[in-house]
Amino acid sequence: VLFALNQTLLQHESLRAGSLQAPYTTEDLIKHYNCGDLNAVIFNHDTSQVPNFINTTLPPHEQVTAQEIDSYFRQELIYKRNERMGKRVMALLRENTDKSFFFAFGAGHFLGNNTVIDVLRQAGFEVEHTPPGQPI
């Protein structure tokens, strides 16, 4: 945990100091999200929700630690969470076939690979994006 916190702080300090440039801006995220462009490169990174712990300037033993932490966060914070959310949605839909539903999720559920949408589509559900301002 200390390693992850230190790496996160170092990354944020570098961003603030201008020695590290973010690959995309908040405006980029909003634009692609609103357009329903969830396949954009910025949304398709497995680790897009967690800081990048894999730093090639780290000593070899710390690079191993960084890879382990990155894999753990990806599995525990992203994949498992979206799997749980997808299963909850599927249960509601299957138990109430005579009802219509509207589900709203935070943007984090659409980032990276193995999103809630991916979970539902893999189970055979059809998922449609409704752009802002368009009636449902």
pLDDT, tens digit (0-9, with 9 covering 90-100), for 6-53? 777 887 787 788 877 766 677 777 777 777 665 555 555 544 444 555
pLDDT at 38: 58
In the predicted structure, residue 124 carries a pLDDT above the cut 90: yes
For residue 119, pLDDT over 90 is answered with: yes
Alpha-carbon torsion (98, 100, 106, 107), positive or negative:
positive
- Domain edges within the chain: 1-123
3-state secondary structure 37-79: CCCCHHHCCCCCCCCCCCCCCCCHHHHHHHHHHHHHHHHHHHH
pTM for the full predicted model:
0.59
pLDDT for the residue 40: 56
Task: Specify the higher pLDDT residue, 19 or 97.
Answer: 97
